Amino acid sequence: MRLLFLAVPLLAQISPELHPNQSATFRLLAPKATAVTLWADWMPNAQSQPLAKDPNGLWSLTTGPLEPGGHLYWFNLDGLPIADPINPVIKLRQRTSASIVEIPSPTPAPWDLKDVPHGTVITEWRHSKTLGRTERVFLYLPPGYEGGSTRYPVLYLIHGKGDIPDSWTNAGRANFILDNLIASKKARSMILVMPAGHAAPYDPANPTPPANAPLFTQYLTNELIPVLEAKYRIAPGPQNRALAGFSMGGELTIHTAATHPKLFSRHGVFSAGPAIPIPAQLPNFWISAGDTDTALPRARAFAEQTKTNLNLYKGPHNWTRWRLSLNDFAQLLFPATRR
């Protein structure tokens, strides 16, 4: 009995446990719980799966093989959604937190941490007259920025509906993707600017109100672009600016392009379509979605409307698709000045 007693805490400290076949075991020690389920972004139609409880109160579930990449998940403990208390990789969101499990790829992935020169991720806190509050914006400064004099093109990168400004680095690994592309000379050295996409105050009952898109566009164009271009070594002009986002961030990209069609040289729309009617002709879009993506119908309709190719990835509406989209989109930017 003593050995069994000791084994329970040891197992409870391993969650998620990754297996050689790319499956994973999730565990939660909750002896008094009556029901525990797991929600994860690989599950179809926002379904969840129940965990099994052993005599010592340890709940567990082992999945089948999972796709390489970063996956979002959380537990539901007797009706209360919680992040995995054992997993230190937390995904902060607008109103809740979740966990991330990173399934390694058998071959190097674009977002892997590699032995290459690394850029710097910094946080700017600025009071915005447009938003009426102090808000943060994250920036990625490429390798070689510090101590240099070069001016760099910039990609403004917007998060999704439930996310916050650092989601593109926390879950999207945007900084590692750019590090690897720059080191392999597949993309030009560039600055990433990752602003708050929720310009209107976040309301869980109505997270994307009609006022959000015009307010965000005003915040981006009237405040962020001029302020950041004055402070950082950002090359001026639309030929040195690009704009992209996923899900809600894709909708904000479309809105900004429709109202300021000459401000950016390229627009990336990942897993999104327009939330409102837009002009028939809009400039320079790159559109992507997963083949089981909940946003696929809107993305396909938008691609047809703009006579743009739809870049289709295998899989659902999740971070792996958006990592792949960023990796592919970034390689197409600023070709006239590529090294």
pLDDT of amino acid 2: 43
Contacts of 244 (CB under 8 A, 6+ apart): 155, 156, 157, 158, 250, 253, 267, 268, 269, 270, 286, 325, 326, 329
pLDDT of amino acid 6: 47
CB contact at 8 A, 194 and 137: yes
Q: Domain ranges in the chain?
A: 2-103, 120-337
Chain position carrying tokens 């010592």: 56
Q: What are the residue ranges in the chain where pLDDT is below 70? A: 1-9, 11-12, 46, 280-281, 283, 336-339
CB contact at 8 A, 111 and 323: yes
Tell me 312's DSSP state. E
Q: Return the CATH number of the domain spanning residue range 120-337.
A: 3.40.50.1820
pLDDT of amino acid 48: 92
Q: Model's pTM, two decimal places?
A: 0.93
* 2-103: CATH architecture: Sandwich (2.60)
Tell me 240's DSSP state. G
pLDDT of amino acid 11: 67
CB contact at 8 A, 185 and 271: no
Separation between Cα atoms, residue 34 and residue 28, nearest integer Å? 12
Q: 205-228 pLDDT, tens per residue?
A: 888 888 999 999 999 999 999 999
pLDDT of amino acid 203: 85
pLDDT of amino acid 44: 78
